[in-house]
Chains A and B, each alone.
Chain A
Amino acid sequence: MTPTVSAEGLSLHYGGTRALDDVSLRLTRGVTGLLGPNGAGKTTLLRVLATAVPADRGAFTVLGNDPGTARGRQEVRRRLGYLPQTPGFHPDFTAFEFVDYVAILKELTDRGARHREVRRVLDEVDLGDVRGKRIKKLSGGMRQRVALAASLVGDPGFLVLDEPTVGLDPEQRMRFRELIARAGEGRTVLLSTHQTEDVAMLCHRVVVMAGGRIRFDGTPAELTAVAAGRVWNSAERDPGAKAGWRTGTGSFRNVGNPPAGADLTDPTLEDGYLLTLDDAGVEVAAA
């Protein structure tokens, strides 16, 4: 399958920080999860791929276009949907007005066609009934859906979502996951998240970043398998474990290198993620 995004050796430094360090990846159709602790470089990578920030080194293409040139960058942007980590709104706008404004930025200049597109994307995120409501009167989850609708204007082939489920309650998160799954049908979605549940439920592939580098790239099952034989239960917290916590049953769940005769248990995606970070030298208790 031809990759939608193909990146080689992306690096970016600012100040004294190495935000991206020789990142290479290929993204194909479907939802790819991007996991990593704070400061891992997820948002920077998303901004580079969304053409908001140029990399110091390396190159990439999106849908065959090279954003290194002005013309290529514009072509990429025509086929890009981007939901930033903290989407900004003009709070006095209605949902319709905000998406209409973004549609103008996306070069939909014909009024009738633009308004039809605005209604389509608002319906797609199930906000058709509140499109005339002011954004400041909408709940946090609804605002995120307005921002998602704005990112869907023009039916982009590549959708970049930066932690869209942060701050949402479980019901809103579930609803948002449905929308992301729907948006991922027929297009390439790169989803940055802290939530391993998002990845487990939505993604066909997961990339783990830490310290500006890619530490894992594979399927969620493969990431889970990283922890195979490295998760065990015990009555007390095992001091030799990389991380351990008391579960609802009262016993401790430990991840790391189990002692001989340990009561091994099935790993989860989160266990695999924690051990991947640990293998990369990241303090997993802080992750």
Chain B
Amino acid sequence: MTWHVDAEDLRAYAQGELAPPMLWSADTHLMSCAECREALAAVSDPVALDAGWDRLDAELDVPRRGLFESLLVRIGVADHVARLLTATPVLRRSWLASVVFLLLTTVGVVYTADSPTLFLALAPLLPLAGVALSYGPALDPTYEMAVVSPLHGFRLLMIRTVAVLAAGLGLNGLATLALPSYGLRALAWLLPALALTATGLALTPRLGPVLAPSLVGGAWVALLVAADRAGDGPLVPFTAAGQGAAAAVAALAVGLLFLVRDRFDVFPRSAV
């Protein structure tokens, strides 16, 4: 040992009056120094000493915040919400899938295509897939326990959806910056993305968390193929009229989602 906690600090520690950062140093040191633990026992009353060990024990148990969780807490997300988000492996996987997907499509668009159509076509699928991957009995091992918890299922879904959308839309937005020559046209993925995600969620109580987003994604691809065959020029979904339709679909789907919100609070019949 290169140092020991001095007698004054030990007395303060025993009385619970030692302040950080010396408190942290003393905690760490006492874990490994029998000599200081003996000295501490000599200056402590047994009850206070037990309380101190309990506190130290408790500190050692507490899950350590990772980088992302710390970041969320720092920007004002409540501690328990940050924990809910970052502790869920399905969410981490969906975020990772988002990043990989986006990197690949962006690289593909920038280096192999002469228009942003491919990017615009694929980008709305990213948040749809991300949200689908973050929810449901097939993907969340704790789903059954979560359903019967007092935290409303719709609220939990919305917490996860907002997190996935923030990540997915944010990443899409960054990717858009790689296409500066297309101006605002490069943002034409945004409204379709919201429309697809909201529609996928609104249909989930009826069709299930796998079939609903799959059908919505399939319908989007079919629409693009049909629009491509219809003629030259920009595809209809990325024109002003198409954007208006996407906004209307998004608004309707959000309304429907609100109406069916209680259906997220129980097991889907297909999973009974």
- Check if B266 is an interface residue, CB within 8 A of chain A: yes
In the assembled complex, the Cα of A150 lies from the Cα of B262 at a distance in Å of: 25
Contact between B62 and A115, CB atoms less than 8 A apart: yes
B87 surroundings in chain A (CB, below 8 A): 90, 93, 97, 101
Per the 8 Å Cβ criterion, residues 214-254 of B in contact with A are none
Report the stretch among A51-59, A193-201, A214-222, A255-263 that lies at the interface: A51-59
Known contacts A52-B144, A52-B148, A88-B142; is-contact A132 B61 (Cβ 8 Å):
yes
Contact between A84 and B265, CB atoms less than 8 A apart: no
Contact between B63 and A82, CB atoms less than 8 A apart: no
Instruction: Tell me how many residues of A have a C-beta within 8 Å of chain B.
Output: 44
Contact size range, B: 20 to 34
B60 surroundings in chain A (CB, below 8 A): 132
A118 surroundings in chain B (CB, below 8 A): 61
Contact between A73 and B144, CB atoms less than 8 A apart: no
1/0 per position for B118-157, CB-CB distance to A under 8 A? 0000000000000000000000111111111111100010
1/0 per position for B58-76, CB-CB distance to A under 8 A? 1011110000000000000
Per the 8 Å Cβ criterion, residues 88-116 of A in contact with B are 88-90, 92-94, 96-97, 100-102, 104-109, 111, 114-116
In the assembled complex, the Cα of A223 lies from the Cα of B267 at a distance in Å of: 34
B140 surroundings in chain A (CB, below 8 A): 88
Report the stretch among B43-51, B77-85, B179-187, B191-199 that lies at the interface: B77-85
- Check if B89 is an interface residue, CB within 8 A of chain A: yes
- 3 A-B pairs with the lowest CB-CB distances in the bound complex, closest first: A88-B141, A105-B149, A77-B150
Per the 8 Å Cβ criterion, residues 77-125 of B in contact with A are 78-80, 83-84, 87-89
B79 surroundings in chain A (CB, below 8 A): 109, 111
Among the listed B62, B142, B272, which residue makes an inter-chain contact with A102, where contact means beta carbons less than 8 Å apart? B142
In the assembled complex, the Cα of A270 lies from the Cα of B80 at a distance in Å of: 47
| B176 shortest CB reach to chain A, Å | 34
| A62 shortest CB reach to chain B, Å | 11
Chain A residue with the shortest CB-CB distance to B142: A88
A109 surroundings in chain B (CB, below 8 A): 78-80
Chain A residue with the shortest CB-CB distance to B90: A90
Chain B residue with the shortest CB-CB distance to A97: B63
| B75 shortest CB reach to chain A, Å | 18
Contact between B78 and A96, CB atoms less than 8 A apart: no
Contact between B267 and A47, CB atoms less than 8 A apart: yes
A80 surroundings in chain B (CB, below 8 A): 148
| B210 shortest CB reach to chain A, Å | 17
Contact between A77 and B83, CB atoms less than 8 A apart: no
B269 surroundings in chain A (CB, below 8 A): 14, 53
The contact sample of 20 A-B pairs, CB cut-off 8 A, is A52-B267, A54-B266, A73-B265, A74-B150, A74-B152, A77-B148, A80-B148, A82-B144, A90-B89, A93-B87, A94-B63, A96-B61, A101-B142, A102-B142, A104-B83, A105-B146, A105-B150, A106-B151, A115-B58, A116-B58
Known contacts A88-B140, A102-B149, A104-B84; is-contact A119 B63 (Cβ 8 Å):
no
1/0 per position for A65-93, CB-CB distance to B under 8 A? 00000100110011010101001111011
Contact between B63 and A100, CB atoms less than 8 A apart: yes
Chain A residue with the shortest CB-CB distance to B268: A53
Contact between B262 and A84, CB atoms less than 8 A apart: no
Among the listed B145, B152, B267, which residue makes an inter-chain contact with A53, where contact means beta carbons less than 8 Å apart? B267
In addition to A88-B145, A90-B87, A107-B149, 4 A-B residue pairs with Cβ atoms within 8 Å of each other are: A82-B145, A102-B145, A102-B149, A115-B58
